[in-house]
Amino acid sequence: MLHTFASFFKTKEIRNKILFTLAMLLVYRIGSAIPVPGVDASQLASQIADNSILSMMNLLGGGAFERLSVFALGVGPYITASIIIQLLSMDVIPALTELSKSGQSGRTKIDKITRYLGVILAFVQAFSMVYAFDRQYAILESNSLSTYLYVATILCAGTQFLIWIGDRISMKGIGNGISIIIFAGIVSNIPAQFVQVFNIQVSGSSQGAVFGGVLQFALYCLLYLAIIVGVVIMQLAVRKIPIQYTSSSNTRGNDITYLPFKINSASVIPVIFAGSIITAPQIILSFINADAYNKVSNFLSLQKPVGLAIYGVLTFLFTFFYTDLQVDAEKVAENLGKSGAYIPGIRPGNETITYLRKVIHRITVLGATALTIIAVLPYIIPMFTSLPSSISIGGTGIIIVVGVAMETISQLKGQLTQKQYHGFLK
């Protein structure tokens, strides 16, 4: 692994991409520390540790949310817009479906539509958030309509600037710009998280309990590492279905290839879906009725058994829903038929479609179960330990960090191999 990292920096082009990416991330971290003018974020910061939804938003924003900086919204609105457009392109709106099948030109138009929708969602989310937080925590120096619009515009502009940074990383950096920004935001909080856990378990203990606190901190680190390993296994686990081509000889094993299906094809999207569903009624009620908002927020709190159970069930069900959108058994069977391939022992056509659906649903049970466990773990552990939910183990952050890291390393290895191949030809 160390040799691989050294090889990245030995190659001039890859080294320049890495340095450019680090420079863009530095801009992102500086912006995350710049607060929006006219906002007293201290009131908001004191509420985040006690609110599971706010803690999740702060985690994904790399701490920018609790400071209500210019990058407080992060790239969340753009991700939401991407999910909405992707769902609408699944034979819901014919025009979008046609664009999705029109090659590069169609994808370019869809990306432009996504960005316009992202601007709208960013402004609506910013205005709603500022209005609700000001009513609940009095975070603004002035609560006039012009102040709400002013702050919302700054937050919306911050999101669009982050998307621009992501585009630059994708074009001139190591790629996956939006994912890298989310990755950087989450990773930036990890050192402070471990320091906070150490202070709770060790520094705050009496002299006689220091040894026990050290053991608890070591157990925390080992459990954290074990969850990372589990996420890696979940990301790499695939179900290989053997396929054979009609032109191949059945007696030659080398002619059999495999069709891989990941046990977690939905990645972290179901967790985001579930969080959005739980958050939506709370945001709406914050405009209508403060008492109803407090009751619903208490009922749907992820720190309560009922709210956590609803969150877990939604995550599990959305995993099946999004997997069906991502992996279309009919299209897979159609592509196999066009390429002259078949699954040994399974007839082409409807029987292949039925078999593929059965396999996908079976492996999705494992993926959905693992994803649900990892998603609810940060809220289960504080129920039985002294750790606050904001620094607990597991959750969306680890899934995103591990997934982005593995994908980025894979891309860099591919670029490195390509450079070495070209160098060999020259």
Quick: pLDDT tens for 236-278. Answer: 888 888 888 876 444 444 457 888 888 888 877 788 778 778 8
Give the number of residues written for the chain.
426
Which CATH number does 1-188 carry?
Answer: 1.10.3370.10
The DSSP bridge partners found for residue 238 are: 262
- pTM assigned to the model: 0.77
**For residue 132, is pLDDT > 60?**
yes
pLDDT at 253: 45
Closest CA to 388 of 302, 294, 293, 299: 302
Q: Where are the domains of the chain?
A: 1-188
Task: Find the angle CA(116)-CA(117)-CA(119) to the nearest 5 degrees.
Answer: 65
Average of per-residue pLDDT across 291-300: 75
Count helices and strands in the chain by DSSP H and E runs: 18, 3
End-to-end CA separation in angstroms for the chain? 27
Cβ atoms of 394 and 59 within 8 Å: the answer is no
* Listed ranges 97-111, 310-324, 408-422; the one with the highest mean pLDDT: 310-324
Q: Which two tokens stand for residue 203?
A: 């520094």
Share of the chain above pLDDT 70, in %: 83
Confidence band, pLDDT 50/70/90 cuts, at residue 395: low
Cβ atoms of 407 and 179 within 8 Å: the answer is yes
More confident residue, 117 or 380: 117
The string over 370-401, giving b where at least 16 C-beta atoms fall within 10 Å of a residue's C-beta and e elsewhere, is bbbbbbbbbbbbbeeeebbbbbbbbbbbbbbb
Annotate 33-94 with DSSP letters as a single string.
Answer: T-BPTTB-THHHHHHHTT-HHHHHHHHHTTTHHHHTBTTTTTTHHHHHHHHHHHHHTTTTSH
Gap between the Cα atoms of 3 and 15, Å rounded: 14
Gap between the Cα atoms of 10 and 337, Å rounded: 45
Q: For the segment 346-378, what is each residue's pLDDT rounded down to a tens digit?
A: 888 889 889 999 999 999 999 899 889 888 887
Sequence-ordered strand ranges (E) for 257-318: 257-262
Sequence-ordered strand ranges (E) for 246-299: 257-262
Confidence band, pLDDT 50/70/90 cuts, at residue 425: very low
pLDDT at 245: 82
Cβ atoms of 372 and 315 within 8 Å: the answer is yes
More confident residue, 249 or 54: 54
Confidence band, pLDDT 50/70/90 cuts, at residue 392: low
Q: For the segment 158-171, what is each residue's pLDDT rounded down to a tens digit?
A: 999 999 999 999 99
Average of per-residue pLDDT across 132-141: 77
Q: Is 250 helix (H, G, I), strand (E, B) or coil?
A: coil
* Listed ranges 70-84, 115-129, 134-148, 197-211; the one with the highest mean pLDDT: 115-129
